[in-house]
Structure 1
Amino acid sequence: MASGQGEDVTVLYVDSDSHEADATAERLERADERLSVRTATSAGEALQSLTDTTIDCLVSADDVGERNGLEILEAVREDYDDLPFILFADSGSEDLALEAVSAGATLYLPKTNGEEQYSVLADQICNAVERACASQRAATERRISRVVREINEALARATTRDDIDEQVCAIISAAEPYRFAWIGEHDPASNTVEPRASAGVEEEYLDRIEITTDDTETGHGPTGQAVRQGELAVLQDIPGDPRYEPWREPALERGYKSSAAIPLDYEDTVYGVLNVYADRREAFDEYERQLLSNLGETIAHAYHRIDLQRRNTEQIRQLERTNALLSTLFDTLPQGVLAEDESREVLAVNQQLFDLFDLDGSPDTVEGADCTSLAKSVSGMFTDPEGFVSRIDELISTREPVDNEALELADGRIFERSYRPLDLPEGAGHLWVYRDSTGRRRRHRELETILERMNDAVLVHGEDSTFMFVNRAAIEQYGYDEAEFLDMRPQDLDVPDEAEHVTERVERVRREGELVFETEHRGASGETFPVEINAAAVRFRGEPAILSIVRDITERKQRERELRRQVDRLDEFASVVSHDLRNPLNVAQGRIDLAREDCDSDHLDDAARGIERGLSLIDDMLTLARAGEQASDMEPVDLSEIARASWDHVETLDANIAVDIDATVRGDRSRLRQLLENLFRNAVEHGSTSPHSQARGDAVEHGSTSPRSQARGDAVEHGSTSPRSQARGDAVEHGSTSPRSQARGDAVEHGSTSPRSQARGDAVEHGGKDVTVTVGSLPDGFYVEDDGPGIPDEHREDVFEPGYSEDEEGTGFGLAIVQQIVEAHDWRIRVTDGEDGGARFEITDVVFVERE
């Protein structure tokens, strides 16, 4: 949610009159540039917008079609308790105002005449959002402090590990926004985590999941990561993060949206892992993660305390007082920690604080000492000694928690101070945490130095969208100086058509963590150039930010255009060559037909078949050359529809097709149809009783789809009008006086005695009538399979090679073309067995398109 102070505020205005809604939105945005106003014309549309988009404030007219403003307010409050809601009524009514406020409206504002009412409404929107954000932040701090306090109190009372497990899970699961908490035991032998305590909305969740700590899919979640790395692990987006795939369905059924796993380790002992689930995404910010990490250390130390109690009764008394003061963890923390009571006497202090402030003695020597005197004794280390002391007094008086407050030291170092009020058994107290952040700030400077020296432009902008950092390369690339850059936003660099997409892209980066895309930028002199941007969500100088590495891809685009021109020239060359090759072959065909009128020779048939094969080779080689080009005419294609259309364009005889797929892919329609036709033709031709001869049988019995093949098929089956052709037809039907012709006639009518001739005879007689071709779906693609003889394992890697064919009359380019089309779409293809023993071609890495 935007804070309302200088940040963009997203408003949803609801009015059944779309023209009035648009006009109001325009006036509000004109009244305050921070406002970005969306509109809805019905209650249903408004509620859907709240689900799909982050809305900071909802403004509703009092008459919205089927519902009035109060009914919309009631529906909104069912799921959005804290969303600011302003009723913008047509006419003033004290009763309506009282009813609206009583129902949970933030404000009732009657409409008036004039433009001034929109300025008033804009101010009220920003004020409401600011108040809501402040309330939300304060509530979060109070909630976390309350959870930590309750757990610490429970730990102090606990006498067994079971007590700790049950109390921790119960307290955490009862606090918003948490829904469920459980503690698991790690078994190093089996690399599994077994639950031992839980509380909250569980409903047998733990019975349905398996969690491991090895390098497998079930070990890549927060729990496995926390155990392996020994530190807190967070997954902020259960619905969208692929790492949560093994557990996503049962988690979403129970309303889990984000998860954190905290290892419960003390020294060399692993006591378990605490898992916490929240009902919203991004529930664990940096502050909450740090508290959970500290809480894990506190719980682990409590386990350790109980172990010590069982071994030594004398230590039990010491640990009880230490637990009550929340000081048992001081020695395990990397920060300097001091606790004081209500009278400002030292209750406990750790060695890290002594080291940090270079104090003499040991922690035991200052217990009971005056904290005011101690603060004054070290104040001289800071650039503002009086301010150091007075700020401590101010925090004690207000008892407001503070985190990571920067303190400058005279020697150039930087300390950070955090404060928490304590509720002790004997009264109030105060907890101080100090850390030296000089190294971290130095690392930030080193990082900036690295970014500064990069050859690519580096731009970093914060949540307010203004640039926080630009490197030298960016200044040189764009022509702006650093001061100009720091007053600009990403939208100022994009050309107008692209600038409108900046906000959407920024939100995707924040949601997904990173994004790579291409756009067009404009420099200071007005020139435009294409760029590739690699953007990532980071923390920069301690704040959330977006880091963008921008590369000028002008040269790459020029190379792509040159490559495209080369491909076009190659395509033109291939077309010319194929044309020049076809012409003499077509002439030769005509000459053979004329020669048949003068003489009867088997050599003419062989020559005709050779020419036919040459023409087929030209067609397939030209298709193959073009099939490898990158698919460019991309569009949504219905697989079921194009499969049936492709089947109709193939000579399928009596073969059957079963289309068992209902999906749409993004592809080149013409190439996809060619791919399917080739697979169908392959299945029909090789799916007869002989895997080698179906194509020839089809041509002889039914005729090929090729005009050239059709002519020969007609001649064999029906006879030619040419006397010499008629003679050949008679020879085929009745037997020729030539032994060779007679043999061919016998082969066609009765089948040859040779195995290969017999197979061709079977193919002619039976064709592919017993073949069923199936088109089905895969999780990431689709398949085409038949129930024919299949493809032997030893040939599966060869079938896609250009020219490979088990049929002596085939060109061997059909499946090579299929592979080229698949690769042009960036897909993959493999051959395997079908369900009924035939050949199955699986095409994967396909991107499906959602249907509108």
Structure 2
Amino acid sequence: MTVTSNRFVGRLITVIGGLLTTLHLVNVVRFETTPVRVLIDGAPILLSIVVAIAGALLARDRLVPNQFVGRLLAWAGAGVLAVSTLGTWLLGSAVIIGIPLVNPFVPMLNVATFGALAGLLVGVYDVRGLERQQSIKRLNRINDTIRIATQEVVNKTDRADLEQAVCDRLSESEPYEGVWIGRYEDGTERVRPAAWAGLDDEYVESITVTIDDSPTGGGAGGRAIKTGEIQCVPDVFADPTMEPWWDLLESRGVQSLAVVPIVHGETVYGFFSIYADRQNVFDEHEQEVLTELGETIGHAVASIEARRRLADHERELARQNERLDAFAGVVSHDLRNPLNVATGHLELAREQRDGDGNGNGERVDENLSQAAEALDRMEDLIQDLLTLSRQGKTVDECRSVPLQPTVDRAWSTIEASEARLRIDGDLGTISCDQKRLRQLLENLFRNSIEHAGPDATVTVRRTSVGFVVEDDGPGIPPEERQTVFEMGYTTNDDGTGFGLNIVRSIADAHGWDVSVGESPEGGARFEFAGVEEADSPVRAA
């Protein structure tokens, strides 16, 4: 407890008032004999009682704010000194002119009591006036700060830029010592610092605020996220819920803080936390203004997120339109050729079958076989087209998927009894859309069998950044590795040219990078990077 705190000074004044009351009572009992004199000299008892009451109110923070207690104490001392000086001069003058003084202690005690009370009253009046002036200045400061911050909110189109601009503006306002913004995503248990000003990087990165029932989730930050309401802490070291951060706050000299949620409707995007180097900074009006700023920032973040989603949707539509254009070309050319072949051979079969029937059975079977092959190719093209069109969409849901069971299921669809699948090490789990991953693997496996032969060995292994699928076939020449993912690219007369394009589309939808290289056996090597590891895998489907 400091010597300038309301509690200490209030108790001191209460003790002085009690002491004065006791002395006046003793004086009345010992020296007064007539009722009139008892009444006259007993009046200071009431004054000393008022002094004691004023001290008690001050100790309970009900008289003046803590930052003005030193000024109030100075006024009380000045009152005692001024009135006592006047009393001393009057008593000295009385002695000089020959007026006898029976007991000079009594009038001096009365004078001191009156001076103390007068000083307190003047001090309270002065402090209240000063407080009003400072309140007006603070309101002007708050309004200017909010106005400038609001302008930044309106002008920014990037969330990171918006958050940093708000921190910069708020930190320039006295008495804010530092500001930081934490982002929160629904379903997560931790607030992530996103921007700050007036605070060093190491300090902010060491802050832990969670949204759970742990000690780091019960502070002002956790409450702001859970309730969506501003949380003010007038004295951080008097609030037990702030104990997990006491050492950090003490290192920065923080005495009070306010945590303002960034909200829009029912959505909480995070909060901004404001530090002050003295207690009781955030009054009711300031809290209202800061709450309004939090809502304004929340509206801006919602708008930015909506624009981002719209841009993503527009890009997705553009990609789908590109695929539709490609499909139109395929339908008009690639599907028409095998259809014409099938139609021609069927016509020949009909003509020959309708002939004389002598020696034409073998030729009929041959024509029908060629027609069947053409129709099978059409089926392959149609199936690949359907698969490719689905990859124009984003993945449905990324979950924790065990890689090896998914690899086994994909391999089971390959019609090559002599081919061999080799799993090199533990494949672990990854975060992905399981159905899309299986389609990716099926296309890679079919590509390996088509180019490496029906007795190929296909290897799957994990890497530090993702996973690899490679074979022991002839490989892909370096000059062609940039074009193998293009739609329609194939070196196999029976291939559709869509398989590797499907692979790249699925990888892109997951945010993975896919590259082509050479396997240790000289075959093709497809490496996928940027694949996130995951825990708690689901059962492979």
TM-score, normalized by length of structure 2?
A: 0.43
Question: Where is the strand percentage greater, Structure 1 or Structure 2?
Answer: 1
Larger proportion of helix = 2
TM-score, scaled to structure 1: 0.28
